[in-house]
Amino acid sequence: MSIETAKHETPLIEARNLKKYFKIPHKGMLHAVDDVSFSVYKGETLGLVGESGCGKSTVGNVVMGLHSATSGELLFKGEDVFKARRNRNHELYRKMQIVFQDPYSSLNPKKTIKKILSEPFLIQKICPKGPELDDKISELCNLVEIPAELLSCYPHELDGGMRQVVGIARALSLRPEFIVCDEPVSSLDVSVQAKIINLLMDLQKKLDLSYLFVSHDLSVVKHISNRIAVMYLGQIVEIADKENIFRQTMHPYSIALLSAIPKVIKDDNERGARIVLKGDVPSPLDPPGTCRFAPRCWMAREDCYTRPAPELKEVSPGHCVACHYYQISREMMKKAETANTIQI
Amino acid sequence: MKKLLLKRMLKSAFFVVGLLTTLFILVMVLFAPAITPYEPNQNSLTERLQPPDWSQGFDGHLFGTDNMGRDLFSRVLYGGRSSFFIAFTSTLLSAALGILLGLIAGYYGGIADVIISRLCDIFIAIPSLVMGIVVSALFGVSKINLIGVMIATSWIKYTKIGRNNVVVARSMEYVHASKVLGASSWRIMIREIFPNVTTPLLIQVSQGIGSIIILESTLSFLNLGIQPPDPSWGNMITNGRNFMATHPWMVLAPGCALMLTVMAFNFLGDGLRDVMDPKRN
Amino acid sequence: MEKLLEVTDLRVQFKTERSIVNAVNGVNLTIHKSESLGLVGEAGAGKTTTAMAILNQLANNGKVLSGDIRFKGESVFKMPKRQLQKIRGDKISMIFQNPLTSLNPVFTVGEQIAMVLRHHKKMSAKEAREATKELLKAVSIPEYRINDYPIQFSGGMRQRVGIAAGVACNPELIIADEPTTALDVTIQAQILELLKKMQQDYNTSLLMITHNLGIISELCERVAVMYAGRIIEYGTAKEVFRSPLHPYTQGLLGALPTLDDQKERLTAIPGRVANPQNLPDGCRFHPRCQHCMEQCTHLAPIMRKINEDHYVECFYAEESEK
Flag whether B4 is in a domain. Answer: no
Which domain covers residue C221, as residue numbers? 3-81+175-186+202-321
The pTM score is 0.83
Choose from B5, B176, B179 for mutation: most chain A CBs within 10 A: B176
Residues of C in Cβ contact (< 8 Å) with A260: 185-186, 188-189
C218–A277: do the CB atoms touch at under 8 Å? no
Print the domain residue range for B167: 15-23+58-276
The CATH number covering residue C25 comes to 3.40.50.300
Inter-chain contact A194–C212, Cβ cutoff 8 Å?
Answer: no
> Can you tell me the mean pLDDT for A211-224?
92
**What pLDDT score was predicted for residue A342?**
46
Residues C162 and C96 in one domain: yes
Residue A191 at interface with chain C, using a CB cutoff of 8 Å: yes
Residue B39 lies in a domain: no
A194 contact residues in C (CB cutoff 8 A):
254-256, 266-269
Q: Can you say whether residue C56 is alpha, beta or left, with left for phi > 0 and alpha for psi between -120 and 50 degrees? A: left
Contact at CB, A191 and C185, closer than 8 angstroms: no
What is the Cβ-side half-sphere exposure of residue C135, based on CA atoms within 13 angstroms?
Answer: 26
User: Please, what is the average pLDDT of chain C?
Assistant: 87
- Whether C180 and C292 share a structural domain: yes
Is residue A106 over pLDDT 50? yes
Q: Across residues A210-218, what is the average pLDDT? A: 93
**Contact B208/B157 with Cβ under 8 angstroms?**
yes
**C242–chain A nearest CA distance, Å:** 5
Cβ-defined contact of B174 to A123 (cutoff 8 Å): no
Q: Do A93 and B192 lie within an 8 Å CB cutoff?
A: no
Among partner residues A223, A260, A342, which is closest to C257 by beta-carbon distance? A223
Identify the CATH number of the domain in which residue B139 sits.
1.10.3720.10
Distance CA C103, CA C95 (A): 10
pLDDT winner (highest mean) among A61-65, A101-105, A191-195 = A61-65
Residue B279 β-bridge partners:
none
Both C68 and C208 in a single domain?
yes
CA distance to A5, A264, A270, per residue, from C222 (Å): 49, 13, 18
Residue C259 forms contact with A (CB below 8 Å): yes
Residue range A238-247, pLDDT digits in tens: 999 998 998 8
Q: Is residue B203 part of a domain?
A: yes
Residue ranges of chain A whose CB lies within 8 Å of a chain B CB: 64-66, 90, 93, 97-98, 100-102, 105-111, 116, 119-120, 123-124, 154, 157, 167, 170, 174
What is the count of structural domains for chain B?
1
Report residue B17 CA to chain centroid gap: 18
Out of A97, A107, A123, whose CB is closest to B174? A107
- Domains of chain A and any CATH numbers: 13-246 (3.40.50.300)
Is residue B228 in some structural domain?
A: yes
Amino acid, single-letter form, for residue A243? E
Of A57-71, C34-48, C136-150, C261-275, the least confident: C261-275
Which C residues in the span 18-47 are in contact with A, Cβ-Cβ below 8 Å?
42-43
What domain count does chain C have?
2
- Looking at the fold, whether C181 and C313 belong to one and the same domain comes out as yes
Burial of residue B164 (number of CB atoms within 10 Å: 0-12, 13-18, 19+): middle
Are A308 and A322 contacting, i.e. CB atoms less than 8 angstroms apart? no
C148-203 per-position pLDDT tens digit = 998 888 888 888 888 888 888 888 899 999 888 878 888 888 888 888 888 888 88
Does residue C61 sit in the same domain as residue C182? yes
- Examine the domain organization and report whether C76 and C118 are in the same domain: no
Task: Compute the distance between CA of residue A245 and CA of residue A227 in angstroms, rounded to an integer.
Answer: 8
Specify if B100 maps to a domain.
yes
Query: Does A269 touch chain C if contact means CB atoms closer than 8 Å?
Result: no
Nearest to B196 among A107, A110, A119 (CB): A110
Contact A105 B172 (CB under 8 A): yes
* pLDDT number for residue B181: 86
Q: Is residue C217 part of a domain?
A: yes
Query: Among A104, A264, A280, which would you mutate to test the C interface (most chain C Cβ atoms within 10 Å of its Cβ)?
Result: A264
- The model's pLDDT over B32-44, given as tens digits with 9 standing for 90+, comes to 888 888 888 888 8
What integer pLDDT is reported at residue A226 of this predicted model? Answer: 94
**Burial zone of A288 (CB within 10 Å; 0-12 exposed, 13-18 middle, 19+ buried):** exposed
Answer with the residue of higher pLDDT: A267 or A174: A174
Nearest chain A residue (CA) to B199: A110
Is residue C86 one of the residues assigned to a domain?
A: no
Residue A254's pLDDT band (cuts 50, 70, 90): very high
Q: Is A147 on the interface with C (CB under 8 A)?
A: no
A-B Cβ pairs (cutoff 8 Å, strict): 57
Residue percentage of chain A with pLDDT more than 70? 94
- B183 part of a folded domain: yes
Which residues of chain A have a CB within 8 Å of the CB of C257? 197, 219-220, 222-224
**Chain C interface mutation, best of A104, A186, A189, A275, highest count of C Cβ atoms under 10 Å:** A189
Q: Cβ separation of A100 and B176 shorter than 8 Å?
A: yes
User: CA B216, B222, B227 angle in degrees (round to 5)?
Assistant: 70
Nearest to C311 by CA among C230, C253, C215, C256: C230
**Is residue C316 in a domain?**
yes
Within a domain: C197: no
Cβ contacts (< 8 Å) between C265 and chain A: which residues?
A: 198, 201
Cβ contact B180–A110 (<8 Å)? no
Position C253 pLDDT exceeds 70: yes
Q: According to the 3-state scheme, what is the secondary structure of chain B?
A: CHHHHHHHHHHCHHHHHHHHHHHHHHHHHHCHHHHCCCCCCCCCCCCCCCCCCCCCHHHCCCCCECCCCCEHHHHHHHHHHHHHHHHHHHHHHHHHHHHHHHHHHHHHCHHHHHHHHHHHHHHHHCCHHHHHHHHHHHHCCCHHHHHHHHHHHHHHHHHHHHHHHHHHHHCCHHHHHHHHCCCCHHHHHHHHHHHHCHHHHHHHHHHHHHHHHHHHHHHHHCCCCCCCCCCCHHHHHHHHHCCCCCCCHHHHHHHHHHHHHHHHHHHHHHHHHHHHCCCCC
Tell me how far CA of residue C304 lies from CA of A279, C8, C223, C246, C321, in angstroms.
Answer: 47, 16, 16, 12, 11
- Domain co-membership, C133 together with C233: no
Q: Which own/partner contact pairs does B48-55 have at CB distance under 8 Å and 24+ positions apart?
A: B49/B243, B49/B247, B51/B247, B51/B249, B52/B249
Mean pLDDT (whole number) for B125-140: 84
- Chain C: nearest CA to A269, how far in angstroms? 12
Residue of B nearest to A85 (CA): B182
Query: Would the CB atoms of B173 and A100 count as touching at under 8 Å?
Result: yes
Q: Which of A68, A113, A119 to mutate to test the interface with B (most CBs of B within 10 A)?
A: A119
**Which of C142, C168, C194 is a domain's end point?**
C168
Please tell me the predicted confidence (pLDDT) of residue A138.
93
Same domain, C112 and C239: no
Query: Smallest CA–CA separation between B273 and chain A, in Å?
Result: 18
A218 touching C (Cβ < 8 Å): yes
Same domain for C108 and C64? Answer: no
Q: How far apart are CA C268 and CA C259, in angstroms?
A: 18
Query: Quick check: is B155 in a domain?
Result: yes
By the 10 Å C-beta count (0-12 exposed, 13-18 middle, 19+ buried), C129 is classed as middle
- The CA-atom distances, in angstroms, between B10 and each of A51, B26, B273 are 50, 21, 13
Long-range CB pairs of B192-197 (<8 Å, 24+ gap) are B192/A108, B193/B103, B193/B107, B193/B165, B193/B166, B193/B169, B194/B99, B194/B103, B195/A108, B195/A110, B195/A111, B196/A108, B196/A109, B196/A110, B196/B165, B196/B169, B197/B99, B197/B103, B197/B161, B197/B162, B197/B165, B197/B166
Task: Answer whether A263 touches C (CB < 8 Å).
Answer: yes
Contacts of A123 in chain B (CB under 8 A): 178, 181-183, 187
**Which residues in A lie closer than 8 A to residue C273 (C-beta atoms)?**
159, 189, 191-192
pLDDT tier at B53, thresholds 50, 70, 90: confident
pLDDT recorded at residue B224? 83
Instruction: Say if residue C73 is in the same domain as residue C134.
Output: no
Whether residue B173 and residue A102 make contact (CB cut-off 8 A), yes or no, is: yes
Contact C304/C312 with Cβ under 8 angstroms?
Answer: yes
Is any Cβ of chain A less than 8 angstroms from the Cβ of C269?
yes
Q: Look at A1-5, A282-286, C42-46, C101-105 and tell me which has the smallest mean pLDDT.
A: A1-5
- Is C137 domain-assigned? yes
Decide if A18 contacts A62 (C-beta within 8 A): yes
Determine the pLDDT at residue A323: 93
- Chain-wide mean pLDDT for chain A? 88
Residue B196 in any domain: the answer is yes
pLDDT in tens, C213-232: 889 988 899 999 999 999 99
- Whether C49 and C100 map to the same domain: the answer is no
Taking residues B113-127, report their average pLDDT: 91
Could you tell me if the ipTM is greater than 0.90? no
| C192 found inside a domain | no
pLDDT of residue B281: 38
